[in-house]
A and B are shown apart, each in its own frame.
Chain A
Amino acid sequence: MTVKTPRRSLLLAGAALAGGALVLSGCSASDGGGGESDTSTLTVWLDANRAEALGDVISDFEEENDVTVDVVQKDFPAIAGDFTQQAPTGKGPDVVIAPHDALGQLVTNGIVEPITLENPDDFQEVAIQAVSYEGQVYGVPVSIENVALIRNTDLDPNAHATFDELVSAGQALVGQNGVEYPVIIQAGDNNLGDPYHLYPIQTSFGAPVFGTDAEGAYNPEDLQMDNEGGKAFAAKLAEWGASGVLNPSLTGDIAIESFVGGKSPYMITGPWNLERIKEAGFGYSIEAIPSAGGQPSQPFVGVQGFFVSSYSENALLANKFVVDYMGSEEVQTAIFESGGRAPALKTAFEAAQSDPDAAAFGEVGANGAPQPSIPAMSVVWEDWGVTEGAIIDGSAGDPAAAWAAMAEGIRGKIAAG
């Protein structure tokens, strides 16, 4: 209103333009703001893979509810972090897809809202456990992923009962047909170990990260890594490091490159590398990772789920989208078909069994352990990887002592919060 300095009719043109701009800026500003005036636009953050898989479902949703869904494509690993930062500013999305292990952090920051599933039993138990935190269900799980052993059946037609047998079979093959490594387990960059890929072996020694309470929730005060089994695992790491079974230079890229190049009969990896392996053209079999320490080997199971922002102004629409649509068999199957990861909904999972690869990964995952989503878990990764790397390359000295020191350090950090 302060602009009213009328000077002849010349100003009329300016005023008209200004009015036009006002309208225009009004439109554009309300798009991103998600303010009260704009309740028919739902902002959803998806990764490229799922954005593609959900295209049809989203247009159905738009039509049936007469709303607009604004899909923002994001890099999957960046979603949880960006969401944490943006939600409190009011500019965040209404719905996000995120890995379940970020859930603890999202709840601690108060940015996701519990949701109500009419029948949680329709989903795989491990999936519901994964999207629950402190007794509340926060998301609709869509897909499950885990690692398994992939065997190049052209190089070794026989399955093995124990990891030691597998290693010696692999060692016997080294030198023939271009085989260079008895087994491939990827490592992190710069001599870091890769605790995620080594976890099934660690659990086969009876040394999970955390103990669980009666309801199956992880207890951050009960770190179990350094029990007797853990020490035996550490000694084994040192032994395998010295004999070249574990190679800290095999980063993720080099590992899959070597495996598809036929340089090893076995690799521990997940469904994300399946396409590459199929392209390589050799026969393969997906099976449980043989136990190294006598107990069952349990890989981490990662679950991806849809979560509703507690800052969403469209809570009702967001809930409808997440619960009614993302939990439907159609969506779960569509996502499975685009990513090859097993669906979390039981009926869709059954249907996915017709795909032998998905069935095989699913079977291994059914015996897995959900990757902990408690915030204390984030303290664990770094020290865990560094210590495994140092034990494998021999720079850690006594493996049992290094392992125990690591566990002590982690306990201290968890206690310090």
Chain B
Amino acid sequence: MLSILADASSSLFFPPEQSTFAADVDGLFDFIYYLSAFFFIAIIAVMILFVLRYHRRKGHVEQPSASHNEVLEITWSVIPSILVGFIFFYGFTKYLDMREPPDNAYEIQVIAKQWSWQFIYPNGADSDELHIPVNQPVRFILQSSDVLHSFYIPAFRIKMDCVPQRYTNTWVIAKDITGEGKDNSEHKPYDLFCAEYCGKDHSRMLAKVYVHEQSDFDAWLEDAANYLEGKTPEEGGKLAFEKKGCTQCHSVTGDNSAKYAGPPLNGQWGTERSVIARGASSPENVVMDENYIRESVREPNAKVVVGRKPIMPVFTPQQLKDNEITAIIAYLKSLK
């Protein structure tokens, strides 16, 4: 135990520092760490010393000693209070820096939903992985479309809850690029986790963070905004289906197991399904056609398939544009 403590360096305790905050946070962490290691070792050393010196053995008896000592007690109250006061002070000043984004920050909307992330950029592009430019303050406006989630990027040391019907925010300046070019394959991205328990696939609500050189970022952003361009509707629809997180809950291989919260969607085009309309008590049949798909996306709980829970999230026009729905419809039609 002690040897683990003694060997522990901050790199054992931390992922690499990738934001301008990280060094401050780690610095404070290290300070508390060495301070507590010191006190801990001192406490245990005294304890062991006393056990060795005063343990019960033949002929050993207890010796009288003071049952209290004001000077000693005041000393050991005041010194820790001062140290702790210092930790508190340092902790909150650094925290205030982390709460105050600069005015010129680049803003990205973050929508958390069970169980995926969506990032929406100022030019209307969106993605399910986070892409940001390096050395540039980026502010995240966080929202949730269902329950509490928490936006957490360990490499940046930032975390903030996403609260339904309310905006929260956090910001960061990334120190280093994760790779060259706009192509993901050239990057070694960081992890982005959901840190607030949000139901079944909480632990799969992950995303990757890509940090680009500004020019690469601009190129990526341009492509992201126009990702349907130059694709057939089926191809584009497949991309949209994956990008928007539909695959989280719907299989396209006919897998009907509990692994997927929603029904499989291949080979369903034009078939009938039994649904319960909102407010209705008995099921009715609907055909899977363009309007049914559009409604299922925009207003999923209007008709819920018998045997499924009403858990599909709503996709607003901001999250899923009309041309994307059209492409997805083409894609679903093509699935056998």
- Co-assembled chains A and B: no
